Structure 1
Amino acid sequence: MLERVRDLPAVDLDAQGYLDDFWRHHERIDGAFWKLERIQTFREPEDPGWVAMISGDWGRALALIEEQRPATVSGRGSHRLRVVERPVTPYVQWELHALRPRAEAGAQDVRVLDAAEIRHLETGRTLPELVFLGTEVMYEVLYDGTGTHSGGRRHDDPGVIAACHRELAELHAKGEDLRTYFDREIAPLPAPGGTG
């Protein structure tokens, strides 16, 4: 089902419409938050850490992550599956540094899955970026060719949401805990070039 999401009917939302809709549904979430991240490079110009990373100031990017660490607290159930291509892109390297404090604090159950593990689902195109707010709504989050957020598609069909959630949970279970993955694969990497 995950590989068919783009072909299913959904409510189209522009970038601002997606954010408004997301926060409206987020206020009444009836279960856990789940996220599937597949794209390897995003643009996040509103994030000072991303700006530092893209500018080549890796030390500043890491320092900003550490400054935010005290604000990382446990909340409602939150699960993320980050699919990683090799070689690791600068964005993914930075993002996994940023996610590590959340994982260490128990604020988010983050797992990493090698892209090779989902190739059988990606015939002709990659899996979509997905966000689940409990059992009520699932968003396919859209990005343009530069990795800039451009909107989303809201799926409301309970059967579609349940099937996609079940498949994502199965992939999540196959993934490796971010903390062990980070220590082995990310911590030894040199500072990335500022290419996003």
Structure 2
Amino acid sequence: MLSPQAVGPGRRLGLDDYIEDFGRYFWRSGSEGFWKLERQQTFREPGVESWEAFRTGRWDDSLALIEGQRAHYEEYFRKISECGFVLHRVRCVEEPISPYLQWELHLLHLKSQCGEDTRVLVNDEFLRHEAQGRLPEVVILGSSVMYEVLYDDAGELAGGIRFDAPQGIIRCRRAIQEMHRSGEPLDAFFRHHVASLSPPAVTEG
């Protein structure tokens, strides 16, 4: 199992400290890039307009709000490219796809069109990595810092555990890169498994 905590001690950060720390290092990701492993199937994203529309049953409005972010993400990924790095994401997807994840995959599809490099692992493809425990949520920023991202019981962002040991960062990055190589490009997965789905039943509170 990929576990940042297995590579050495980390420092727990509350939500505000995590956000500040993340922002300090994000734009310095450099040639090693940004790597993210996303395992949970449901999150809460209060304050995100398209998520708020989704959770209240306004699916068409939610999709329109996502599309309305296209110019923002085009500019965002242009700036990232100018800073010399790429965002790579591994998104684990359990089938049948959860309502939240159906929404998120629409957002990730837009991001992929604007420059994010996302691949999908489905069911057995990621479960084989969980023989000794559930995969964590992990973000790695270049060679400088790695976080295990923490969420509360409701699925809201609660902070993170920061790790700085270079060998631990290298080890976890290689594990995520291996998963990424074996995954299906998001655009193809979205076309085959998501685009034709009916609007999801609202189960988010």
2: CA distance, partners of 1:96 / 1:178: 8
The equivalent residue for 2:188 is 180
- Distance in 1 separating the partners of 2:177 and 2:105: 20
Alpha-carbon RMSD across the aligned residues, in angstroms, is 1.4
Could you tell me which of 154, 175, 178 is aligned with 1:170? 178
Matches within 5 A, 1:48-87: 48-73=49-74, 74=77, 75=80, 76-87=85-96
Question: Which residue does 1:90 correspond to in 2?
Answer: 99
Residues 142-153 of structure 1: matches in 2 within 5 Å?
A: 142-153=150-161
For 1:116-141, what per-residue CA distance to the aligned partner results, in whole angstroms no more than 9, with x for missing partners?
A: 11223213531010111111111100
Cα deviation code 1:78-100 (max 9, x no counterpart): 11110000110111111110111
* CA separation of 1:5 and 1:174: change in aligned 2, threshold 3 A: same
Count residues in correspondence: 194
**Cα distance in 1 for residues equivalent to 2:189 and 2:5:** 30
Deviates most, 152-161 or 116-125: 116-125
1:14 is matched with: 14
Distance (whole Å) between structure 1 residues aligned to residue 65 and residue 173 of structure 2: 33
Task: For 1:116 and 1:146, locate their aligned partners in 2 and report how far apart those are by CA, in whole Å.
Answer: 26
Give the gaps of 5 or more residues in structure 2. none
Deviation at 1:185, TM superposition (A): 0.2
Tell me which residue corresponds to 1:5. Answer: 4
Q: 1:192 to 1:120 in 2, by over 3 A?
A: same
Q: What percentage of aligned pairs have identical amino acids?
A: 44
Contact kept in structure 1, 2:28 and 2:142, CA below 8 Å: no
1:137 pairs, out of 133, 140, 145, with: 145
Q: Secondary structure at the match of 2:30?
A: coil
Question: What is the alpha-carbon distance in structure 2 between the residues aligned to residue 85 and residue 103 of structure 1?
Answer: 20
Segments of 4+ moved more than 3 angstroms: none
Give the drift of 1:182: 0.3
Distance 1:176 1:28 in 2: 28
